[in-house]
Amino acid sequence: MNEFSDQISAYFSHVPMRPLVLLGAGIVVAGIYEIFTRKRRTEAAEEFRSAILSTLSGLYPEPTNWPRSIDTYLRARLPVMHEIIEDFRSNVRQQDIPAYNRDWDNYQEFCRNEITDDKCIAAETNPGRESDPKKTFHQLVSNLLRHAD
């Protein structure tokens, strides 16, 4: 055991310390950067989640205040949602951006073309025969929010 410790101490006595100090400093800087990046992403995710929940309050997570003319109501909120989505895009991992874009496109398509009061009423009067727009809406918003996890 002493032989190994003697070899290690001899190595450090002959090797210049500057490269080792630089390596250590680089590791410390990388660690601090990683902590900062994780904290920033966590804060952005919380802000993203709260912005969407406040924009869609009464509709998500539970439809407690489902308005009449839901299509008009949701279309009026699309510019605000678009801004929220664009602001958060830089915090989405690069490999997840195609799924993020797809989820946003699906949400927009649903709000512009697929949800109407008539479809909501038909789903309530004929459960099982008609697809429920409220459930679809819930799933689309959940898909957007999963990117903040």
- Chain segment 66-121, per-residue pLDDT in tens: 888 888 899 999 999 999 999 999 999 999 999 999 999 999 999 998 887 778 77
In a domain, 84, yes or no: yes
Residue 1 has pLDDT above 90, yes or no: no
CA neighbor of 70 nearest in space, from 60, 21, 48, 84: 60
Domain count, the chain: 1
State how far the Cα of 128 lies from the Cα of 125, in Å rounded to an integer: 9
In a domain, 21, yes or no: no
The whole-number pLDDT of residue 110 equals 93
For residue 70, which amino acid is it? I
Judged by average pLDDT, the poorest of 8-12, 17-21, 36-40, 145-149 is 8-12
In a domain, 7, yes or no: no
Helices (H), 1-149: 2-14, 18-55, 70-88, 97-109, 117-125, 133-145
What one-character DSSP code corresponds to residue 130? B
What one-character DSSP code corresponds to residue 111? I
Percentage of the chain surpassing pLDDT 90? 56
Domain hosting residue 128, numbered range: 41-147
In a domain, 132, yes or no: yes
In a domain, 33, yes or no: no
In a domain, 77, yes or no: yes
CA angle 39–42–43, rounded 5-degree value: 85
Residue 129 has pLDDT above 90, yes or no: no
In a domain, 133, yes or no: yes
Residue 59 has pLDDT above 80, yes or no: yes
In a domain, 109, yes or no: yes
State how far the Cα of 81 lies from the Cα of 108, in Å rounded to an integer: 9
